Amino acid sequence: MSNEYKNILVAIDLSEDSRKVLLQAKEIAARNQHAKLSVVHTLEPLGFAYGGDIPMDLTSIQDQLDSHARTRLKELLEGIDIPEENQHVLVGMPDTETHRLANEQNIDLIVVGSNGRHGFQLLLGSVSSGVLHGAPCDVLAVRVGKKS
C-alpha cells in the first residue's frame, strides 16, 4: 500500500501569497513521483453578491473578470509547469466548486493557504475554511504571510 499523492489540486485566490502556495505544491508533487498538479481559482458570481437582483446584464463584466483572472493565473504560474487543461477558473462558491472539482478529478490532496493568524476564516480570501469542511480528501494548509 502506498499513500503517495497522485493528483494534487491547489486552490488559490490569486493574491501574492498564492505564489508561495503554488511553489510548495509543486515541490510536494515532485516528491510524490511527480503527481499530477492542477490549480483552481473560483470567482464568486457577480449577481450573487448583490442578491441576484440587478437590473442590468452582468455577463460581459463576468467575462472580463474571468479573463482578468486567467491572465493573473498565468503570471502566478511562471516557472510552474501546469498544462492549460489543468488550470481551472470557475464561477460559483469557492468551497463547493473546489469540492466538486476534487470529486470529479479524483483529487487526493487539496492544497490551500492559511495566514495562520485568524485560522482559516481569513484563509487567502475566497479560499475559506469551508474548503476543509467536507473535503473528499486530505487537505494541506500552507502557512503564508509569516515573517521568516
The single residue among 7, 24, 62, 96 that binds its own copies, judged by CB under 8 A, is 24
Is 119 a binding residue for its own copies by CB under 8 A? The answer is yes
Which residue, 13 or 43, has its beta carbon nearer to its own copies? 13
Which residue, 51 or 117, has its beta carbon nearer to its own copies? 117
Q: From residue 75 to residue 114, what is the string marking binding to its own copies with x (rule CB under 8 A)? A: ---------------------------------------x
Closest contact distance (angstroms) between CB of 53 and its own copies is: 31
How crowded is residue 69: how many other Cβ atoms within 10 Å of its Cβ? 17
Is 32 a binding residue for its own copies by CB under 8 A? The answer is yes
Residue ranges that bind its own copies, judged by CB under 8 A: 2-4, 23-24, 27, 31-32, 114, 116-120, 129, 132-143, 146
